[in-house]
Structure formats: C-alpha cells, structure tokens
C-alpha cells in the first residue's frame, strides 16, 4: 500500500513539474534615464522582453508580420516606443534620438540620446512610460532616473501609464 502511494505521488510530481516553467511571465519593461549634469547629455535605455514585444507587433504593425524578423514591424515598433515614452525637464520636452536597437532572443533593447542645458539637470523631471500599456492590461514599466548621483524609481501600471510622473528638483534647484 505504501509502495503504491509512493508511485502515485512520484507520478503526480512528474506530471505537475513543468507547470512553473509554463507559468505566464508578467508584462513589463525596464527603462533607465541618465542625466549628466556636467554635459547636459541625456541617455535613455529600454529593455523590453521579447515575449512582450513580438506578440504586440500584431497590434502595433497590423499590416506587417508579427515578428522581429520583419523590418516593417521593427520600424513600427521603433515609432511606437518613441511615441509612448517621454521625458521633460522643467516642462521642456527632451528630443530623444534612437542611437541603437538590439533585437535579442530574450529582450529588445533601445538606446536613445538627447541633450539639455547643463544647468537644467537638477530641475523637475517628468516621465511618461506607457509602452505596451495599451496592449497588456497588466503591464508594469519601471523607470530609474539617475542624475547628480541620485537614482529615483518610477513605476507605471497599465491603467495610469499615460499619466506623467514628476520628480521634484534636486536640492531645491530649479532652472
């Protein structure tokens, strides 16, 4: 009887073992905004899981193949991310230029560059990070903003991802 129970438990364990591996991974992106106070250089990087980006192409680029192998879909993805993410300093939008994009098996990486006046680096920073929030209802985008040796984290959940979040000026500095 004990042997039979042990065999049944072992069989059930083997049958259920793949479940955690098959579990759905949440939807989210990690972005880093770095503002260099000396030069005024602004860099933005986004890391988006490929398992989020590729299926979303069906909605982002409906006339293209929903694949990161399709150049038309990749161009649509570039436009989409640029439209859904923004940074302003002291109420002035920062023009971000895509410098590099890496299409990997696990993640898609975007690297942007922009520029502000060096004296603005301590000013109020507003960020909108709504990438994929219109596609996945459980999207969570984390944005780390680094400036003057201080890092602050903003978290954007899908329902309110289009609402900018503002970091106050550092050390009471404005412009």
- Domain residue limits, the chain: 26-170
Measured CA to CA, the distance from residue 103 to residue 109 in angstroms comes to 7
CA distances to 21, 102, 113, 160, 175 from 54, rounded to whole Å, are 20, 13, 24, 23, 41
The model's confidence at residue 26, banded by pLDDT at 50, 70 and 90, is confident
pLDDT of residue 150 exceeding 80:
yes
What is the crossing angle of helices 50-60 and 71-84, to 10°? 100
Q: Which helix (H) or strand (E) holds 144?
A: strand 140-147
Average pLDDT value for residue range 101-122? 96
pLDDT of residue 9 exceeding 60:
no
Of 92 and 5, the one with more pLDDT: 92
**Average pLDDT of the chain, as a whole number:** 89
pLDDT of residue 88 exceeding 60:
yes
pLDDT of residue 151 exceeding 60:
yes
pLDDT of residue 21 exceeding 70:
no
Tokens of 115: 């520029």
């Amino acid at each position: 009887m004990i042997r039979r129970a042990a065999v049944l438990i072992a069989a059930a364990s083997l049958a259920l073992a793949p479940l955690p591996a098959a579990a759905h991974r949440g939807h989210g992106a990690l972005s880093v905004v770095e503002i260099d106070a000396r030069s005024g250089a602004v860099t933005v990087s986004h890391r988006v899981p490929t398992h989020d980006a590729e299926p979303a192409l069906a909605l982002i680029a409906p006339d293209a193949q929903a694949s990161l192998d399709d150049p038309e879909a990749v161009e649509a993805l570039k436009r989409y991310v640029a439209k859904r993410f923004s940074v302003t300093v002291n109420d002035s939008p920062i023009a971000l230029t895509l410098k590099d994009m890496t299409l990997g098996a696990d993640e898609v990486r975007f690297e942007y560059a922009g520029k502000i006046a060096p004296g603005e680096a301590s000013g109020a920073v507003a960020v909108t990070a709504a990438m994929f929030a219109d596609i996945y209802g459980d999207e969570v985008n984390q944005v780390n903003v680094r400036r003057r040796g201080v890092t602050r984290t903003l978290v954007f959940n899908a329902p309110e991802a289009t609402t900018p979040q503002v970091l106050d000026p550092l050390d009471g500095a404005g412009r």
